Chains A and B, each alone.
Chain A
Amino acid sequence: DQQVKQNSPSLSVQEGRISILNCDYTNSMFDYFLWYKKYPAEGPTFLISISSIKDKNEDGRFTVFLNKSAKHLSLHIVPSQPGDSAVYFCAASEGGSQGNLIFGKGTKLSVKP
């Protein structure tokens, strides 16, 4: 049973517009959430994270929103750029898990010029 779900396998957005990537989770014990970006033939790179004590974290063009009651988080990219085209993975962990992350299956974002 998937504990972290990314229900959209792909997303296409026009350059300059907002990209919104969604992630749902089922484990209420998760208290730390991360987004990774992955280009083909490369390892994932850490993008942004959020602790469950917050509902928003912002870093430049990237903002992550957390809705604990809905067990939902989203990554907003504004404005989207062609270089943002990649697969985005959502991940979650719970306190005491010694750093184990549970990953979603990823969403492939395509930003068209």
Chain B
Amino acid sequence: DVKVTQSSRYLVKRTGEKVFLECVQDMDHENMFWYRQDPGLGLRLIYFSYDVKMKEKGDIPEGYSVSREKKERFSLILESASTNQTSMYLCASSPGDITLRTDTQYFGPGTRLTVL
């Protein structure tokens, strides 16, 4: 079974704080993704990574950065949290072998972040 874990289920931070969200997958997947989910807006891609130390911007990267120092771990960083970053954050991973079309992404349980 694919397992994707996220460091916290619920997090409350203050405006201006630096926030780290951690994600770990145990299936040796190449690809990892960070999304945020907001009511009526679906899942929006923040950043993704195809390999260690590689990162690519998604649709809404502003205000976020990421780090992938190890294959199994992908961190999302909010350098200075703002109230409009209150959201559900979802991490996902996928095998990433495009020759096999293994595009299926497996998600973690999510982190509900509230910025006050």
Contacts and interface: CB of A to CB of B under 8 A. Distances in A.
A87 to B, nearest CB: 9
B40 A32 contact: no
9 contacts: A9-B40, A41-B110, A43-B109, A93-B103, A95-B101, A98-B96, A99-B103, A100-B48, A106-B42
A98 B40 contact: no
Nearest to B50: A98
B98 A95 contact: yes
A96 interface: yes
A105 B41 CA distance: 6
Contacts, number: 60
A99 B91 CA distance: 14
B25 interface: no
Nearest to A103: B43
Interface residues of B, number: 29
Interface of B: 4, 9, 31, 40-43, 45, 48, 50, 88, 90-92, 94-96, 98, 101-110, 112
Interface SS, A side = loop
Given A51-B101, A99-B31, A104-B42, A43 B107 contact: yes
B7 to A, nearest CB: 14
B42 A45 contact: no
A34 B103 contact: yes
B102 to A, nearest CB: 7
